[in-house]
Amino acid sequence: MGNPRGFIEYLRELPADRAPAERIRDWEEFHHHLETAKLRQQGARCMDCGIPFCHTGTLLSGMASGCPINNLIPEWNDLVYRGLWREALDRLHKTNNFPEFTGRVCPAPCEGSCVLGINAPPVTIKNIECSIIDKGWEEGWVTPEPPKVRTGKKVAVVGSGPAGLCAAAQLNRAGHWVTVFEREDRPGGLLMYGIPNMKLDKEEVVMRRIKLLEQEGIKFVCNCDVGRFLSAQQLLEEFDAIVLCMGATRPRDLPIEGRQLKGVHFAMDFLTANTRSLLDGHRNGNYISAAGKDVVVIGGGDTGTDCVGTAMRHGCKTLLQVEILPQPPMDRAKDNPWPEWPKVYRLDYGQEEAAAKFGADPRVYLTTAKRFVSDDHGQVKAVHTVQVQWERNENGQWVPKEVPGTEQVLPTQLVLLAMGFLGPEQPLLDALGVERDLRTNIKADYGKYQTSIPKVFAAGDCRRGQSLVVWAFNEGRGAARECDRYLMGCTSLP
């Protein structure tokens, strides 16, 4: 590294986000960049460690440790420190097709395994990554790069989320004609409709990259639900290969009394309708509004946080987030050592906004919902909750047990279920006849990605289950490599 004492001389520093009271009044992104001089200092904190765990990209205790796409983090940290931004962008693009996405929405497992993080705050890897690509766009360094030679092979990619976009970009780079099918009215999948605009701007960030991919020769077909408007047989007949990147979009339900009441919605229905209405200029008003309502979000993950942030921008009356797991510790537990992902307490952007307005973190832990109560018109008016404790059952599995005498009745007119996802939707998979695993995901070995049908490949959440955007990038790139090998007999894709 250019400054071997940087990790000693400089403290970790991140740019201040927009103030919560200000940002909940609009849908603009709330992160800022540091000034260039300070970004160079942050790059200098990368300590030239003997083994850079930040880009190992492995699983430890079922969680990502290091970057799953093996970003060359020490290299571009040093280049930023030396002011060589163009070269840093080139290094970044070697492993990451869309760093403007991961730089905004990735939880940064790279930082969790940073060697400096053993006994000091880790390097600000995610912020530096985002700054590199944003500077690249600003300077005009990110331009269309269509392939010089076409193979004549046609590949269909089903789904335009992070895995689908990576697969399409890599296959197009190999010279194949790529068509991406998307059932929604806009491409982007999870990036477009699953993540709110304040975390990832749709017009300025997502569509900017989509338009560049189109200029490179990729065709996007929207409003096309493959299996309904285009049959599986047509797909098999018209394309030389197919890559399934459908995501894991079947939400986990909460089958308790009152589930059928009006005002009880899946989180993705809430988030998708809101973003579509926002992008349509609120001309139709066809979204689920939290304005003036007592909102209860059930589920404590990223999707739950996005529901909290969206409800805050609607102007909800009160907000409560129910989490069945215990509150994480403030520091790493002994059974969660470095370089595992640190399972520690964090105040994410949505909870920060709710705390600023209502005075406290909206989350309640070790709590679950027992029943929903109706008013006279079939609308939810209250939720009964109860505290739980986790105990082992006769099979040694941890299960939640209700704590007697802890039931509460909370007023609510809007309940959002954000409890994760069960796997991909099945109709297209049934029509294609691909084999599935015990979790109903598409059965295809990691690293090979080929399904039980030779010309059909699978990548992302539909193969591995619900996971991170950066793992979808890993799988989309890997599936493209194996698909190219299938089509051409060999491949030069990484």
pLDDT in tens, 372-390: 999 999 999 999 999 999 9
- Mean predicted confidence (pLDDT) in 419-444: 95
Residue with tokens 């704590």: 403
pLDDT band at 157; cut points 50, 70, 90:
very high
pLDDT of residue 280: 92
User: Do residues 424 and 248 lie in contact, with contact meaning Cβ atoms separated by under 8 Å?
Assistant: yes
**Strand, helix or coil for residue 239:** coil
pLDDT of residue 68: 96
Asked whether the predicted pLDDT for residue 284 surpasses 80, the reply is no
- Of all residues in the chain, the percent with pLDDT exceeding 90 is 94
- 387/402 Cα distance (integer angstroms): 6
**Strand, helix or coil for residue 359:** coil
Judge whether 6-139 and 253-419 match in fold: no
Q: What would be the CATH architecture of the domain defined by 154-249+422-488? A: 3-Layer(bba) Sandwich (3.50)
- Mean predicted confidence (pLDDT) in 398-403: 96
pLDDT band at 229; cut points 50, 70, 90:
confident
pLDDT of residue 316: 98
Residue 447 exposed, middle or buried by CB count within 10 Å (0-12, 13-18, 19+): exposed
Residue spans of the domains in the chain: they are: 6-139, 154-249+422-488, 253-419
pLDDT band at 428; cut points 50, 70, 90:
very high
- Mean predicted confidence (pLDDT) in 230-239: 94
pLDDT of residue 283: 72
At 381, which amino acid appears?
Answer: K
pLDDT band at 219; cut points 50, 70, 90:
very high
| Mean pLDDT across the chain | 96
| CATH no. for 253-419 | 3.50.50.60
Q: Where are the alpha helices (DSSP H) in 200-265?
A: 207-215, 232-238
Asked whether the predicted pLDDT for residue 27 surpasses 80, the reply is yes
Asked whether the predicted pLDDT for residue 282 surpasses 80, the reply is no
Q: What would be the CATH architecture of the domain defined by 6-139? A: Orthogonal Bundle (1.10)
Q: How many CB atoms lie within 10 A of CB 391?
A: 10
Comparing C-alpha atoms, which of 53, 8, 60, 130 is closest to residue 342?
60
* 469-494: pLDDT as tens digits: 999 999 999 999 999 999 999 999 99
* 288-333: pLDDT as tens digits: 999 999 999 999 999 999 999 999 999 999 999 999 999 999 999 9
- Mean predicted confidence (pLDDT) in 18-39: 95
- H-helix or E-strand spanning residue 295: strand 294-298
Expressed in angstroms, the distance from the first to the final Cα of the chain is 26
Residue 227 falls in which region: left (phi positive, over 0), alpha (psi -120 to 50) or beta: left
pLDDT of residue 50: 87
pLDDT of residue 3: 85
At 192, which amino acid appears?
Answer: M
Angle between helices 125-139 and 36-44 (to 10 degrees): 140
